[in-house]
Structure 1
Amino acid sequence: MNSWFKKAILVSSIACMAAFSHQVFAQENHAPAIDKVEKVLGLEVSSVADAPVDGLLQVITNRGLFYISQDGKYFMQARIFNLDEDMRNETEEALGEIRNEGLKKFENDAIVFKAKDEKYVVNVFTDITCGYCRRLHSQIAEYNDLGITVRYLAFPRGGMQSQSFEDMVSVWCAKDPLEAMTTAKSGDAVKPAKCENPVAEQYEFGQLVGVTGTPNIILPDGSLIGGYQPAPMLLQSLKQI
């Protein structure tokens, strides 16, 4: 092993150690604020970082993204806009990164209605009982014809103790999940089924990334459209990315 290569490995190792040390320091340095979020509000903090506004921390919890003052006194749910960058939504930018990273976990766990001539892929948080979810699904062929692949993620609006949750588990566990999804969204009963499934994890992930209802559509850049969009309108949104 030549000296240059040894030096490169050493530099890389030091950089990794420094990054890890910085992360640990950040967690320890902000421990009082994190502790208050978890103990007072009952939230689970998964990560903490400096917010775009001086004096604020950005915390990612099991219930979404929030901001807290560094002393832990003030807690807020807000959107931060950057006036110097054409009103860029800094909060949405952060959430977009979290959404796209989190979607990787469900790469093989969505119910996918794939376009033959695929141009775009969207992830749609859905509930089988919601009217606009049913309207979207009734036009699934139109989305596919426009080159839009639709990947369904579960978001039972009634929560994990609801009948909708149990029915969505049955859809994901059906021998033919695509057929079961269409049956359920037609208002017909789904044959009960049980298996290892991602419904609860997808529901929790939706809450984490700002989903509050259905349908909610995640575009390829990580941005979120709250609500139903007809196929031509969704196509225009995708073309503008």
Structure 2
Amino acid sequence: MPFVGRSFRALSVVLGMSVLTVGVQASEDAVRKGMEAFIGAPAVDSVAKTPYGGLYEVVLKSGELVYTDDKVSFIVDGRVIDAQTRKDMTQARLNQLSAIDFASLPLDQAIKQVKGNGKRVIASFEDPNCGYCKRLGKELAQMKDVTIYTFLYPILSPDSTTKSRNIWCAKDRAKAWNDWIVDAKVPAASECDAAAVDRNVALGQKLKINGTPTLFLADGSRIGGYVPAAELEKALSAVVLK
């Protein structure tokens, strides 16, 4: 009989967990339907309950992250900060959602530069007419023991495309890029098969890169916007490869 009792209790726990799972799923489905009814389109990518005040995290197909309750009676477009750890949970989640498989990047479409032992790796998507890319270029020039893959990503103007093509077609692409981005020496006109530039634009759109510079580290984590060398060094030190 004691064994039967233990078995019954174990079965009750399993059944209880199953009911809880179904309940959570039902709530998430209800939130999805409510959000899409509010938006007026099937725009929700995922819904998950958070441990914060009964809020549900709603990830939209646009990449945006908002919060609501189980009845979609309000929508919060802002940051959730953990009061104990002071961690920006929204930014942490966005970083997780925007991470990529670094190994999937077509590195042959990028300008490669190896500094020192080149053990640390960065991939950047940059527009030659981007002011923050020029600031980043000066920071990257200071760094050591790093391999940098620069994807020419002309999205700001037709002139961006012209400069990108001329840089890609230069005899020494890395020198042409640095001459322009660091020293403001206009790249000489040159012709070649520059289809890689067009493929970079398509790739960037697929990765939802809406601004430059956008950087990716070897673990797939994304850094949007300009960062000084000191901060980039910290980010590189935190990279853990699986």
TM over 0.5: yes
Aligned to 1:152: 150
TM-score by length of 1: 0.62
Deviation at 1:197, TM superposition (A): 0.5
1:166 aligned residue:
161
User: Which gives a bigger RCO, structure 1 or 2 (Cα 8 Å, sep 6+)?
Assistant: 1
Structure 2 unmatched ranges of 5 or more = 1-17
Partner of 1:214: 212
The answer to whether the 8 A contact 2:34-2:72 is kept is yes
> Which structure has the bigger radius of gyration?
2
Q: Aligned AA for 1:194?
A: A
Matched, 1:205 2:200: no
Letter in 2 for 1:127: D
- What is the distance in 2 between the residues matched to 1:75 and 1:187? 48
* Aligned AA (1:91): T
CA distance 1:199–1:225, shift in 2 (3 Å): closer
- The 8 Å contact of residues 128 and 160 in structure 2, kept in 1 or not, is answered as no
1:226 aligns to 2:221 (yes or no): no
Give distance in 2, aligned partners of 1:140 and 1:105.
Answer: 23
In 2, are the aligned partners of 1:81 and 1:88 still within 8 Å (CA)? yes
8 Å CA contact 1:57, 1:70 repeated in 2: no
Q: 196-205 or 102-111, which moves further after superposition?
A: 102-111
**3-state SS, counterpart of residue 96 of structure 1:** helix
Name the structure 2 match of 1:13: none
Q: Does 1:238 align with 2:220?
A: no
Amino acid at match of 1:239: S
Per the TM alignment, residue 64 of structure 1 is displaced from its structure 2 partner at its CA by 3.1
Given the superposition, is the C-alpha separation of residues 44 and 182 from structure 1 closer, same or farther in structure 2, using an over 3 Å criterion? farther
Aligned residues: 209
Deviations along 1:76-131, one digit per CA (max 9) or x if unpaired, are 332211123x1122122222222333545425454432334123223334221123
Partner amino acid, structure 2, of 1:163:
P
Shift of 1:224: 2.9
Looking at structure 1, the residues matched to 64 and 46 of structure 2 have their Cα atoms a distance apart, in angstroms, of 11
Structure 1 counterpart of 2:7:
none
2:96 — aligned with what?
Answer: 97
Q: Describe the superposition over 1:191-217 as per-residue Cα deviations: whole angstroms up to 9, x where unpaired.
A: 47435603133145344xxx6x43344
- Indicate the residue corresponding to 1:122 in structure 2: 122
1: distance between equivalents of 2:167 and 2:199? 7
Quote the offset at 1:227 in angstroms. Answer: 1.5
Question: Is 2:125–2:212's contact at 8 Å kept on the other side of the alignment?
Answer: yes
Distance 1:46 1:168, change over 3 A: farther
Give the counterpart letter for 1:89 in structure 2. D
Query: 1:8 is matched with which residue?
Result: none
Letter in 1 for 2:236: L
Which residue matches 1:55? 55
Q: Provide the alpha-carbon RMSD of the alignment.
A: 4.1
C-alpha separation between the residues in 1 aligned to 2:56 and 2:166?
43
- Give the match's secondary structure for 2:165: helix
Paired amino acid for 2:150? Y
Match of 1:14 in 2: none
CA distance in 1 between counterparts of 2:47 and 2:159 reads 34
Checking the alignment, whether the CA contact within 8 Å between 1:125 and 1:206 is kept in structure 2 is no
Matched AA of 1:83: A
Distance 1:150 1:65, change over 3 A: farther
- Tell me the percent identity: 19
Tell me how far apart the structure 2 counterparts of residues 182 and 175 of structure 1 sit (CA, whole Å): 12
For the structure 1 residues 167 and 77, does the alpha-carbon distance in structure 2 shift closer, same or farther, using more than 3 Å as the test?
farther
Letter in structure 2 aligned against 1:97 = Q
